[in-house]
Amino acid sequence: MVTADTPCLTGGCLCGAVRYRLASAPFEAGYCLCRMCQRTAGAPALVFATAPLADYVPIRGQPKRHRSSDFGERWFCADCGSPLAMRADHPPETLDVTVASLDDPTAAPPEFHIWTRSRISWFEVADRLPRRAKFRPRTPGLEDGSERAVDGASL
């Protein structure tokens, strides 16, 4: 529930064409090391935090959407390419926002790693957070640990 004390986080892309606000504090922040996140970011990982889709409030512009797999779509700035969010089909009422696109990325520190089986060998984060080879726990619409992804490709 959004109250007067709820931190209102803002974020956006590199060029400023897309700006957004989150009407509630995001939760379950974690690293994703899957190959598709690596390719879309051009980096070894993305960090996402989850928010209710209804709490994503556009301030300026609209992200372009790319259906990257049968798992969901990715939102990014059509002008500068910044990855902004991942919207999975299950559950449809949430959105995973890229934490680094927040103006204050410290507001949603990662709590776990997923898709470590796709980790690039030289990328080692020195923390003791839980690590999962594939999907996050309790991924709706999927049996935990299912083998639907093909050889490292995933989201």
Q: Which is nearer to Zn ion, 80 or 120 (CB)?
A: 80
* Rounded distance between C-alpha atoms, residue 85 and residue 10, angstroms: 13
**Under 8 Å between Cβ of 8 and 19:** no
- Exposure class string for 41-71: b at 16+ Cβ within 10 A, else e: beebbbbbbbbbeebbeeeebebeeeebbeb
Cβ 7 to Zn ion shortest distance, Å: 24
Query: By CB under 5 A, is residue 41 in contact with Zn ion?
Result: no
Query: By CB under 5 A, is residue 149 in contact with Zn ion?
Result: no
Residue from 49, 51, 155 nearest 94 by CA: 51
Cβ 110 to Zn ion shortest distance, Å: 13
Among 43, 80, 120, 129, binds Zn ion (CB under 5 A): 80
Among 79, 111, 131, 142, binds Zn ion (CB under 5 A): 79
Applying CB under 5 A, which part among 3-11, 73-81, 93-101, 127-135 lies near Zn ion?
73-81
Query: By CB under 5 A, is residue 45 in contact with Zn ion?
Result: no
Applying CB under 5 A, which part among 24-32, 118-126, 130-138, 145-153 lies near Zn ion?
24-32
Q: Which is nearer to Zn ion, 43 or 80 (CB)?
A: 80
Measured CA distances, 16 to 4, 13, 71, 154 (Å) = 27, 5, 28, 29
**Under 8 Å between Cβ of 9 and 103:** yes
* Rounded distance between C-alpha atoms, residue 61 and residue 59, angstroms: 7
Q: Which residues bind Zn ion (CB under 5 A)?
A: 13, 15, 17, 32, 34, 37, 77, 79-80, 155
